[in-house]
A and B are shown apart, each in its own frame.
Chain A
Amino acid sequence: MDEAELVGAARSGDRQAFDELVRRTFVDTFTLARRLTGNEEDARDVVQEAYLRAWKGIGKFRGDAAFSTWLYRITANAAASNIQRRRRHRTESFADDFEPVDNAAEHLVSQGAESAEALDRIGGALDDLPAKLRSVVVLKDVYGMSHESIAEELGITVSAAKVRLHRARRKLRDVLYDEGAQANAV
Chain B
Amino acid sequence: MRCDEVTALLPALVDGEPVGFEAERHVDTCLRCQAELARYRRLLRTLAMLRTRYAEPTPGLLGDTLAAITDAAETGARHTLLSGRRIAYVGAIGGSAIAVGTTAALLIARSRKRALSLAG
Contacts and interface: CB of A to CB of B under 8 A. Distances in A.
A122 interface: yes
- At the interface, is chain A mostly helix, strand, loop or mixed? helix
A165 B12 CA distance: 9
Contacts of B54: 27-28, 31
A56 B68 CA distance: 12
Nearest to A119: B53
Interface in A11-43: 15, 18-19, 22-23, 26-28, 30-31, 34-35, 40, 43
Among B8, B35, B46, residue most surrounded by chain A Cβ atoms (within 10 Å): B46
Contacts of A186: 35, 38-39
Contacts of B64: 48
Contacts of B109: none
Nearest to A183: B35
A26 B49 contact: no
A119 B49 contact: yes
Nearest to B71: A52
B51 interface: yes
- At the interface, is chain B mostly helix, strand, loop or mixed? helix
A47 interface: yes
Interface stretch (B20-28, B55-63, B111-119): B55-63
A165 B11 CA distance: 8
Interface string A95-126: 00000000000000100011000110011001
Among A56, A113, A177, residue most surrounded by chain B Cβ atoms (within 10 Å): A113
Contact of A109 (B46, B56, B70): B46
B39 A185 contact: yes
A142 B43 CA distance: 11
Interface of A: 15, 18-19, 22-23, 26-28, 30-31, 34-35, 40, 43-44, 47-48, 51-52, 55-56, 109, 113-114, 118-119, 122-123, 126, 137, 141-144, 162, 165-167, 169-170, 172-173, 176-177, 182, 185-186
Interface of B: 8, 11-12, 14, 35, 38-40, 42-51, 53-58, 61-62, 64-66, 68-70, 72-73, 76
